Amino acid sequence: MVSEEGAQSISEPAVVGDYVLRSKLGEGAYSTVWRSEHRATGETVALKQVRLSSLSRQIRSCLDCEISFLSSVNHPNIVRLLDVLQADGCIYLVMEFCAGGSLAAYIKVHGRVQETIARRFMQQLGAGMEVVRSHFIIHRDLKPENILLSGPEEDRVLKIADFGLSRIVLPGNSADMVCGSPLYMAPEVLLFQRYDEKVQFFLNFFTAIHHIVCFCSVAEEHQVIYKSSIFWANTQRVTS
């Protein structure tokens, strides 16, 4: 997460390199994201702190993929990586700060998205995913919570973020690691099958589009995703 939703202030700000940590934006199994400021310029950024000791070999490989990919791209619909630091057994990814929060939070506040905004969001999401595809990257955790907005203004820009579970899958190859958020996993992953880049264009991409175009409550959406997964899984068993 690289936004300001639910930020928790810290009493004694720590310093990492040229950055002062101001508040916690979010926390996962392997990392914590901090709202931070550059000491000289005052620029607000997000520092993703990854604890290396907690990483398995596979997750470390995903981290290397995330850094390599984000370092090689400069696209308005992919969150920007500004710098990479290492200190005290941690790697810090210095990311652009997205003041508009996540797509999930935006839709929770605004409800059904207006057609003109939905069209723009879908175009931007598609443009970002085309960059991901062109680098043979599979995201594996694409969901509304990991799609950020540059700001609260009407001209906000959608950005794909959190490539912490990503990896490269070249044409003809596949992966088998079960990872991501269960309610957004593609059927192949749920069935413990090998999968390729197509997985992110089924449930992952579908659920993001579904959020944008046909807003529903979280409970309703989870029912849609669950039923879709079960239907697909049953179809695969019958046809195999």
Tokens, residue 174: 């596949």
Buried b (16+ CB within 10 A) or exposed e, 79-110: bbbeeeeeeeebbbbbbbbbbbbbbbbbbbee
What is the distance between the alpha carbons of residues 108 and 126, in angstroms, rounded to a whole number? Answer: 22
Residue among 141, 162, 176, 196 flagged as catalytic? 141
For residue 32, give every residue at least 6 positions away whose Cβ sits within 8 Å of its Cβ, in sequence order, or none. Answer: 24, 26, 48, 49
- CA dihedral in degrees (116, 118, 122, 124; nearest 10)? 60
Q: To 10 degrees, what angle do helices 115-134 and 203-213 make?
A: 160
**Quick one: three-class SS letters along 72-138?**
HCCCCCECCEEEEEEECCEEEEEEECCCCCEHHHHHHHHCCCCHHHHHHHHHHHHHHHHHHHHCCEE
* Binding residue ranges: 48
Place of tokens 């000791």: 53
* Binding residue ranges for ATP: 48
Q: Is residue 141 annotated as a catalytic residue, yes or no?
A: yes
Q: What is the set of active-site residues? A: 141
